[in-house]
Amino acid sequence: MADMGGAELLERQPEPEAEPEEKKASVNEPAEAEIAHEKPSPKIAQDKVPAPEPAKEQPTEQRAEVLLGKKMEEDDIHEIKALVGHKVSEDAPGRIIIQVKWVDDSEITWEPEENIQDGASEMLFDYWKKQGGREGALFQKGSKPLLGEQYWVYKILNHERVRSAFRFHVQWVGYPADATNTSWETEAKLKKCAQELLDEYWAMKGGRDQFLAKRGRAKKARTE
């Protein structure tokens, strides 16, 4: 929420004198800087000498984020050919990123695991199965596990009320939504590890308060 108390008040300036007609006409024309910002002008090679090809960039997390953003902006559907590796993210400790080979793109990129689960969940689950299971690949790999045992909430599937508290049916990142891999968690726990997802879930359901109200009205009806 903006704090207007700290806002800087600007003094109103006197109105400028009327400009000649020729100068006024140029006001409605877009500025060259704005046009260049929206659509960069093409580069013209001097003396028709082709520029040398840049060195091929190695796939990095930062480069992957740029490419993924570009794909989303263009509303392009890029089909995954294969998942070829995984590692712990340097930018988000505890999170896993997956190395992706695309069908129509020669560049291999690193993508967040939950993004792969959004668009190619079966391929992700099959990848972990080939690795001997996600837990084995990450937490139990020989004497030096890749990561301490950590789990991230992927989606809140449902909820139920137990006495005066709520508990939630949770799907985890990297795991399918079947009964074997999901679990029921308390609201207090989700507030600590997945507050944003919890807020989105209640908003989708029309708000947390309405479930409290329904319970209250039912109880009052029984006592009258």
Whole-model pTM over 0.85: no
Q: Please check whether the two domains, 61-138 and 153-223, share a CATH topology.
A: yes
**What's the token pair of residue 32?**
């060259």
CATH architecture of 61-138: Beta Barrel (2.40)
**What's the token pair of residue 197?**
């997802």
The predicted-structure confidence for 169-191, as pLDDT tens digits, reads as follows: 999 999 999 999 999 999 999 99
Topology of domain 153-223, CATH: OB fold (Dihydrolipoamide Acetyltransferase, E2P) (2.40.50)
State residue 162 phi and psi, 5-degree precision.
-115, 105
User: Which distant-in-sequence residues (6+ apart) come within 8 Å of 128 by Cβ?
Assistant: 134, 137, 174
Distance CA 121, CA 144 (A): 28
The predicted-structure confidence for 16-49, as pLDDT tens digits, reads as follows: 555 555 544 444 444 443 433 343 433 333 333 3
Q: For position 224, what pLDDT does the model report?
A: 53
- Which is more confident, 219 or 100? 100
Distance CA 177, CA 169 (A): 10
* Structural domain spans, the chain: 61-138, 153-223
